[in-house]
């Protein structure tokens, strides 16, 4: 995949649709594979990460296909009936996919080996394996809990009560998915509530899932195991994490007025919207409705003055994937933006905290940082730009700096655009349709 460069433009205009929500897409494929009957999924993200999950479900016995009308059809096998795959499952760069699949197979009496690309093979998996071992699951992994990992599913799983030590929807979801094929009740306690797509979709397929308040803002989630899941159609909303890039691009590029249609607005995912409004963004949500059990709406943004703020640390779980592009937005705001509670950024596709610090500094922005925090001194206007950013196979780092290049004083380039296809195929073309100038350059 070539290097790309974003050249500054005077304004972005138009109405667009961004790809389907990646988190919802992964879960839709997995749970429909465990349902009895045939599920139709519209709006599925067709990025490389989700396609890897589709192939994984095929390898475990589900019939997964794409119809001529663009709708995906999954004929499920039922809870407890996953087949042992005949070969190693390559998940590419799909961190969410592999962690959730480890939970899905953990209580099935099968053996699966997962591998991934260079980026995924650096990402820690012990945080998932630890609670899954309590079901009776066994693992073999490289030193440090790294891929490739072989999962030996529990032949006689037992239900667990797991208290989350870090706010991670991936770990919580892996435990709940494992609890599907365990008898009795599996309980997850979160001190900080994280995105609840798994709980919503389990209920959508007929599982008994009860969420109750827990002291200090947390929740207790109780899943009754070994349900009969029933096939039911799903419409995947547009991904707020993908919408974040044209949203910020429109806010920082003078003369812009952009609407992103049918964006998922799950309150446990929409922290970016609240944060941008705190910064003074001209952002409105129109045509709010519910689709497939998830709230959605059309987001309209216009360019305008922004101010630096202190982002509350308790907001981090609801916008952890959006901090890279938020830090770009902060570079254009007047005053300092302080972001805390960012430890999770260090174990994403790359060390995103370090990547943003390095890239922003190269573009002429003053940044201070620590183990789990970052301060960006906004310029109240366009930073210098002019840098080429090494993105280290990280799609969100790549797109964040292309957004910066749309409004910087000088073009900004990224060294490799390959990773963008994992979550946002057609990103450059969509942005160029709004008036951006993102073009290929010699690496």
Tokens read off for 325: 């592009």
Pairing of strands 257-264, 13-16: parallel
Point out the residues that are catalytic. 321
């Amino acid at each position: 995949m070539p290097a790309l460069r974003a050249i500054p433009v005077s304004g972005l205009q138009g109405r667009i649709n961004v790809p389907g929500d990646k988190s919802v897409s992964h879960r839709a494929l997995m749970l429909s594979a465990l349902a009895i009957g045939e599920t139709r999924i519209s709006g599925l993200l067709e990025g490389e990460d989700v396609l890897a999950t589709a192939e994984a479900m095929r390898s475990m016995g589900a019939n997964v296909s794409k119809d001529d009308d663009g709708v995906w059809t999954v004929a499920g096998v039922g809870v407890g009936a996953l087949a042992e795959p005949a070969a190693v499952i390559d998940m590419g760069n799909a961190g969410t996919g592999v962690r959730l699949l480890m939970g899905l197979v953990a209580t099935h009496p099968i053996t699966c080996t997962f591998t991934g690309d260079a980026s995924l093979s650096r990402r820690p998996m012990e945080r998932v394996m630890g609670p899954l071992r309590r079901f009776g699951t066994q693992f073999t992994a490289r030193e440090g809990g790294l891929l490739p990992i072989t999962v030996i599913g529990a032949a006689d799983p037992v239900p667990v009560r797991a208290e989350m030590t870090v706010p991670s929807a991936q770990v919580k979801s892996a435990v709940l998915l494992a609890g599907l094929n365990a008898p009795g009740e599996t309980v997850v306690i979160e001190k900080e509530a994280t995105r609840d797509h798994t709980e919503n979709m389990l209920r959508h397929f007929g599982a008994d899932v009860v969420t109750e308040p827990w002291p200090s803002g947390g929740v207790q989630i109780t899943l009754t195991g070994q349900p009969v899941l029933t096939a039911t159609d799903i419409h995947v909303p547009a991904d707020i994490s993908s919408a974040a890039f044209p949203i910020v691009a429109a806010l920082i590029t003078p003369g812009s007025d952009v609407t992103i249609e049918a964006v998922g607005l799950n309150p446990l995912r929409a922290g970016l919207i609240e944060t941008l409004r705190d910064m003074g963004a001209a952002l409105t949500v129109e045509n709010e409705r519910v689709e497939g059990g998830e709230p959605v709406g059309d987001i309209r943004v216009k360019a305008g003055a922004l101010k630096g703020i202190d982002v509350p640390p308790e907001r981090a779980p609801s916008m952890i994937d959006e901090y890279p592009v938020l830090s770009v937005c902060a570079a254009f705001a007047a005053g300092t933006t302080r972001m805390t509670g960012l430890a999770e950024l260090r174990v994403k596709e790359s060390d995103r905290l370090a990547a943003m610090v390095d890239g922003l500094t190269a573009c002429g922005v003053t940044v201070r940082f620590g183990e789990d925090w970052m301060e960006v001194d906004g310029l109240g206007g366009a930073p210098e730009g002019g840098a080429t950013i090494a993105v280290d196979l990280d799609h969100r780092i790549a797109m964040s700096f292309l957004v910066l290049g749309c409004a910087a004083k000088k073009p900004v380039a990224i060294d490799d655009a390959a990773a963008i296809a994992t979550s946002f195929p057609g990103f450059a073309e969509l942005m160029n349709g709004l008036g951006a100038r993102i073009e290929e350059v010699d690496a």
